[in-house]
Structure 1
Amino acid sequence: MEFEAIPGVGEKTAAALAELDGAERALEEGDVATLARAPGLSEGRAAVVARGAIRRRHGDDGGFLATGRAREVYEDALDLLRERTVTDYGAKRVATFYPTQSASRISEVRAFVDRATDRATDRDSDPAVRNALAGVEPLEPPPTRRVRDRCLATADAERFAAAEDAFPELSVEVVEDTRGLAELARSYATVIALDERFAGVDVDGDVRIRPDALEHPDEIVPERVLAFFARNRSRLLAAAEVAEAAGISPGCDLDALRNALDRVDDDGTVVGDVELGRLLTAVGDLDAAVSTAESVANDRLRDAIRERDVTIDGTDFLSLVEQGARVDSLLDRELADEYADAVDAARGHLVEALDLKPEEAGFAERAFPEDPAFPVAHEESVISRLRTELKTARDRRAARLKRELAADLSGLRDPAESLVRDALEVDVELAVARFAADFECTLPTFVESDESEGSESDADGDGHGITIEGGRSPLLNVDFENVDPVDYAVSGPTLLSGVNSGGKTSTLDLAALVVVLAQMGLPVPADRVELARFSELHYYAKTQGTLDAGAFESTLRDFRGVADGAENRLVLVDELESITEPGASAKIVAGILEALAEQAATAVFVSHLAREISEAADFDVAVDGIEALGLEDGELVVNRSPVKDHLARSTPELIVEKLAEDDGSGFYDRLLRKF
């Protein structure tokens, strides 16, 4: 794949993706977790890259959200999804959903939604799924750690360079001949020779001939595999819980995975092997055990001397002095048995304390010689040799166990990665399903014109516009259950009139949100929705105050682009008349609506100048109204669903009408006739 062909991917990001194993699969599946493992790529940036790859795959230019307010509505929609995710990954992953004109992308997401909602009933009713998800994170590579008990050896310069790149954990040494291998074998527990020429050499020590070492890194450095699983233990265990609680097929034996994880410590050390534990303890306790053994011998010998009367006559004493005798001789003559018992006790303590095997017990025999001496002292050379033997046995057994466990875990690595990816996707599925449930959503129906490729139906004639039944916006600052449902259908350029605070802007927000969600492929908060697959969404929020000449000119330039845009756009505008004087505003809005009508666009313009705009336009502009039913205790009672082909009364008219009811002077009646 040509990574730089992905929208938003430059040379640096492309180079990072090229270093990532499985980059093409991750881009194809929108796998943000894997993409975030590329050097220098955060999860947020990975989501942007994944979205760019999706756009490229579906031939989407990414221009659907044509204005800042349209992008704000999209971010609001994402926030509703993010709030329902458990993992940080899920919060980033939902950003790969975006509104588009592409029918194939919309269908792809709708298939995801179908799966999510089908599976959600059992999952979301069980809090175990969400509890387990709290511990799931994308897998992380462990830091590289030096392994000092083995090295690689080669006489070939190219192989030397390749080995250094492939095995940063190991030292790579240059050797010319068998003598060089022998020297390395005295310094390392294991030497791995990379050259075939060394096959059959007879060298003391653990020397292995592996010309294929570069093709089997897990066998050469099993610590790499163990460190990966040790680093990600809690994430894997949490993902296993998610798989079980959510009822998804894990792709591997979860018991085997848990058992394998139980055999590796947090630092990558193999645990649970009795013999390795014995050797580790023996090496660690050797010096203390030797010191204690000496104390045992000396304490026994000292007690024996205290309890015994030793008598030496003059002739014997003179003879011993003339012979240069020392206390050793006296011990040998007078306390030989006691000395032997003391030394046996020292040897026994050393064997027992270190749990030495019969073949190792000989070192304890030699560590405390039979020649009498006081105080009793060990032979350091013997203890040093015992230490070497124990360490060698420890290292070799640890290496063998690492290789065996790494072989088991290597086969589980790909399934384990899939396990975590699937668990993270459960979070995304649950977020979508909870969104749909929380806001009583339904999947909309797209109505395509006959000439549209891949059309679903040709209902409602030309296929333009949007119909919303029972729509409720979750963006309002009230509890969702208290939101009044709205029915609204619009096709072609339309003016929306109504009283202040009657819900005109909220109706625009609802229409924008429904369209954004629908063209993301997601369910919408309504009982039923039919809509065209719009090419672009232009949403212009209300301008605060009259604009100066420069800002007014800039705004008109924006609408010049709107008027010349692609067909089948949705244009939502909130009180454009506020940009300048009412008389001029009506003419400007009328001209814009005329251009939009020629472009077959659907548009809703909220305006208090609906009558003036209709009179200025050269075509019959549809006028809908949000009707106030009256005033109760000074509060408006409003029908939130716009009435078709109806110019709604203004708030001042309602107030004057109320005053006229209770006044017999005729003054308010006169005012009322002016409306």
Structure 2
Amino acid sequence: MSVIAELKTIKGIGDKLAKKIVEEVGGEREFKKVINNLEIDELVKVRGVSEKRAIEIIKKFRGEKVQKFLKTERAFQLYQDIIQKILKYTNTNYSKNKVKLLYPSNDPKKIKEDLNSIVEFKNKLEKLPRKKIENLLRKARRFKIKDTKPNFIFGRAVLVNDEKIYENLLNLKIDKYCEILLNPSTDELEDYDLLIYIQSGHEADIDYLPNLITLTPDFTKEEIVPEIILDYFIENKKLLDIILKIKRILGEKTVLEDVINIINKLKKSEPKEINIEEVVESVKVKTNKKIKERIKKIKLEGAEVLKLLNEGSTKKVDKIFEESIREAKKEIKEKTGINFDPFLKEYPLSIDKNELNRVVREIKGKNEIKKFEAKVNAAKKLKKLINDVKKEIKWFQEFDYKFALASFALNYGLNPPKLSKRFIIKNALHLDLIHTKNAQRVDYDVPGVTLLTGANSGGKTTLLETLAQTVILAHMGLPVNAEYAEVPIFDEIYFFSKQRSLDAGAFEHFVKTFTPALATKKRKLILLDELESITELDAGAKIIASFIEFIKESESFAVIVTHMAREIIKLVDVRVDGIEAKGLDENYNLIVDRTPKINYLAKSTPELILKKLYKQSKGKVKKMYHEMLKKFEK
């Protein structure tokens, strides 16, 4: 099936989008590289492909590889458990998605490259203030990268009197952000906070307006809607702040210092909103009181009284008015920054509404222009930095991904494995036991095929899972759960667990799954946990002996946990190792050295389990356990 045909099997991807995806990433060969390198962002660049859809695409094309490598349910469960452990250290959707796409590979070159990258990052992280970085990354969880588009700006309109310019504005989709008015009347302009007039050869007769700015025909989009650029930075500012702090800790170059300064400067440049009407009304009331008090204090002589009665004023009264209005104008200027006289000269003073409305419109218009010009200036500067900023956001996403992997490796004490033809683990520990106090680490050298015998609850199944975890981690290009490990490159992992033993079809399922696999030349890791539990003892020994012969003919490795070692070694030559319990401690726990003894057939020691249960029980049940133990003494 071609790449395009396979893409079309994904819900929501039709023929047109499938072809577009392949074309825009550079053809089928480049598409396969994008899939193999988990380059989610390259797919998201294609219009119509969201991050969620990009994940679906990669899962579709990589999913089969996982199933080809992890051949059984238990092997896949162990892989998923590793993924869940790593996910706890992620902070961004990008790193979460990339961790979910972290699959085992059988390509030695890729494994080494991935491993070297994580080990290098892990070593670097050990020298840094990890907790401080971790806290910053956790803060980033609250913020998602927003590629926002401005809402429609109702208070803004673009004025044109040339149809070609009008068509150009429509082609630029400016009408999605604000009104475009072709040859508007003066009445149409009254309700707008800001008017942008684009000049042409035949200029329109536009009266002076305080909220009008003009642009030449070679305008840019951000000169009309600077929010197209600004909103991206403003919406992501808190996240950019976090990235900047991390960059400073690392001592790395960044453009974000400039970006944050531009945004902060823009915010500070916004003129303060002053309610001029309230200021004028307050000053009017105060001034009327002053005039009243001052008039009360003046003394008028006969002629002055007659003049006041005949003309309504005198020189002394006029002087009080002039002085009071001068003080009022001064106070208004101090409070608003505007020098104007909004009063009618009468007593009591009243407000000249026409003059006040004119000044309010004038100031509001100037403020709108000032704010707009600051936005345009900031947008032009930020436009030059946007590609660098997007690269830094991409860097941050990758940083969080690597930080998650490195933190997982550090917190679990993982170490880089050596790719080898041998399979050895030293001081290894099951991932679920790493944070358990006094957990025993194990050493084991798997020669090819070996039988593992020993005590019930002695750690045989745990050892199988530890081996599987080591191999899965190594093939994921990650450090492993051992202080030292040599791991061969495997093509497939089989882990057959005794958990299916109660299933009536378990034996048939096992034989049908496993037998054809042995016929291939692929290098396999085979882990069998008490296969005898799904069939009769004698048949089980014969089947295991046959499997051992088949496995020995290939380059595969196998560890088989069994209680039938005595029967099996009669049928086939194979190494037997053992984990043996030495007794019970004061808390009735098994005393076990969980590192297998090589070439040693260990007893299952069920009597120790019975003794433990006997010590922990009471009454009639205790007597029953005692009777069982007596049988072992004979």
TM over 0.5: yes
- In the TM superposition, what is the alpha-carbon distance from 1:350 to its structure 2 partner? 2.4
Kindly indicate whether residue 88 of structure 2 is the aligned counterpart of residue 83 of structure 1. yes
Q: How does 1:310-349 map to 2 (within 5 A)?
A: 329-331=311-313, 335-349=317-331
Measured in 1, the distance between the counterparts of 2:552 and 2:315 equals 126
2:429 corresponds to which residue? 472
2:605 corresponds to which residue? 651
Residue 142 to residue 540, structure 1, CA distance change in 2 (3 Å): same
- In the TM superposition, what is the alpha-carbon distance from 1:231 to its structure 2 partner? 1.7
Assess if the C-alpha contact under 8 Å between 1:199 and 1:209 holds in 2: no
1:64 corresponds to which residue? 69
Measured in 2, the distance between the counterparts of 1:654 and 1:191 equals 90
Residue 167 to residue 569, structure 1, CA distance change in 2 (3 Å): farther
Q: How does 1:199-238 map to 2 (within 5 A)?
A: 199=201, 201=203, 203-204=205-206, 206=212, 208=214, 216-238=220-242
Counterpart of 2:258, as a letter, is: A
> Which of 129, 133, 138 is matched with 1:134 structurally?
138
Kindly indicate whether residue 372 of structure 2 is the aligned counterpart of residue 368 of structure 1. no
Measured in 2, the distance between the counterparts of 1:637 and 1:495 equals 22
Measured in 2, the distance between the counterparts of 1:655 and 1:389 equals 93
Moved more, 595-604 or 180-189: 180-189
- In the TM superposition, what is the alpha-carbon distance from 1:316 to its structure 2 partner? 6.8
Q: How does 1:514-533 map to 2 (within 5 A)?
A: 514-533=470-489
Secondary structure of the corresponding residue to residue 158 of structure 2: strand
- In the TM superposition, what is the alpha-carbon distance from 1:87 to its structure 2 partner? 5.3
Measured in 2, the distance between the counterparts of 1:437 and 1:347 equals 71
Kindly indicate whether residue 567 of structure 2 is the aligned counterpart of residue 612 of structure 1. yes
- In the TM superposition, what is the alpha-carbon distance from 1:84 to its structure 2 partner? 3.8
Residue 50 to residue 172, structure 1, CA distance change in 2 (3 Å): farther
2:535 corresponds to which residue? 580
1:151 corresponds to which residue? 158
Measured in 1, the distance between the counterparts of 2:560 and 2:508 equals 19
Counterpart of 1:584, as a letter, is: A
Secondary structure of the corresponding residue to residue 497 of structure 1: strand
Residue 334 to residue 64, structure 1, CA distance change in 2 (3 Å): same
Deviations 1:250-278 (A, max 9, x none): 342x5423322322xxxxxx3323xx52x
Secondary structure of the corresponding residue to residue 63 of structure 1: helix
Moved more, 5-14 or 580-589: 5-14
1:385 corresponds to which residue? 358
Assess if the C-alpha contact under 8 Å between 2:590 and 2:608 holds in 1: no
Measured in 2, the distance between the counterparts of 1:97 and 1:38 equals 23
Residue 482 to residue 36, structure 1, CA distance change in 2 (3 Å): farther
- In the TM superposition, what is the alpha-carbon distance from 1:420 to its structure 2 partner? 3.3
Measured in 1, the distance between the counterparts of 2:134 and 2:247 equals 11
Counterpart of 2:122, as a letter, is: T
Kindly indicate whether residue 593 of structure 2 is the aligned counterpart of residue 639 of structure 1. yes
2:177 corresponds to which residue? 169
- How many pairs align? 595
Assess if the C-alpha contact under 8 Å between 1:47 and 1:92 holds in 2: yes
Measured in 2, the distance between the counterparts of 1:210 and 1:573 equals 79
1:453 corresponds to which residue? none
Assess if the C-alpha contact under 8 Å between 1:569 and 1:602 holds in 2: yes
Secondary structure of the corresponding residue to residue 335 of structure 1: helix
Deviations 1:437-461 (A, max 9, x none): 34443322223xxxxxxxxxxxxxx
> Which of 369, 376, 383 is matched with 1:403 structurally?
376
Secondary structure of the corresponding residue to residue 271 of structure 1: helix
Kindly indicate whether residue 578 of structure 2 is the aligned counterpart of residue 625 of structure 1. yes
- In the TM superposition, what is the alpha-carbon distance from 1:71 to its structure 2 partner? 1.6
- In the TM superposition, what is the alpha-carbon distance from 1:509 to its structure 2 partner? 0.5
2:276 corresponds to which residue? 286
> Which of 264, 267, 275 is matched with 1:271 structurally?
267
Measured in 2, the distance between the counterparts of 1:386 and 1:566 equals 90
Assess if the C-alpha contact under 8 Å between 2:229 and 2:382 holds in 1: yes
Unaligned runs of 5+ in 2: 26-30, 611-628
> Which of 92, 100, 112 is matched with 1:95 structurally?
100
**% of aligned pairs identical?**
25
Assess if the C-alpha contact under 8 Å between 2:172 and 2:221 holds in 1: no
Q: TM-score, length-normalised on structure 2?
A: 0.80
Assess if the C-alpha contact under 8 Å between 1:4 and 1:11 holds in 2: no
Counterpart of 2:426, as a letter, is: E
2:625 corresponds to which residue? none
Measured in 1, the distance between the counterparts of 2:511 and 2:344 equals 105
Secondary structure of the corresponding residue to residue 543 of structure 1: helix
Secondary structure of the corresponding residue to residue 431 of structure 2: coil
Measured in 2, the distance between the counterparts of 1:105 and 1:167 equals 50
Measured in 2, the distance between the counterparts of 1:558 and 1:480 equals 36
Kindly indicate whether residue 409 of structure 2 is the aligned counterpart of residue 436 of structure 1. yes
Measured in 1, the distance between the counterparts of 2:123 and 2:77 equals 30
2:78 corresponds to which residue? 73
Measured in 2, the distance between the counterparts of 1:511 and 1:369 equals 95
1:487 corresponds to which residue? 443
Measured in 2, the distance between the counterparts of 1:482 and 1:6 equals 51
- In the TM superposition, what is the alpha-carbon distance from 1:183 to its structure 2 partner? 7.3
Residue 128 to residue 654, structure 1, CA distance change in 2 (3 Å): closer
Measured in 2, the distance between the counterparts of 1:75 and 1:480 equals 21
1:296 corresponds to which residue? 286
Counterpart of 1:638, as a letter, is: V
Residue 670 to residue 238, structure 1, CA distance change in 2 (3 Å): closer
Assess if the C-alpha contact under 8 Å between 1:27 and 1:35 holds in 2: no
Counterpart of 1:122, as a letter, is: K
Residue 670 to residue 128, structure 1, CA distance change in 2 (3 Å): closer
Residue 436 to residue 207, structure 1, CA distance change in 2 (3 Å): closer
Q: TM-score, length-normalised on structure 1?
A: 0.76
Deviations 1:627-668 (A, max 9, x none): 445566665433322334433222148899xxxxxxxxxxx9
Deviations 1:288-313 (A, max 9, x none): 12212322332233224434567889
Measured in 1, the distance between the counterparts of 2:574 and 2:8 equals 40
Deviations 1:109-154 (A, max 9, x none): 123213312312322x453322332333552234532223233757
Unaligned runs of 5+ in 1: 264-269, 448-462, 657-667
- In the TM superposition, what is the alpha-carbon distance from 1:389 to its structure 2 partner? 1.0
Measured in 2, the distance between the counterparts of 1:210 and 1:564 equals 77
Counterpart of 1:474, as a letter, is: L
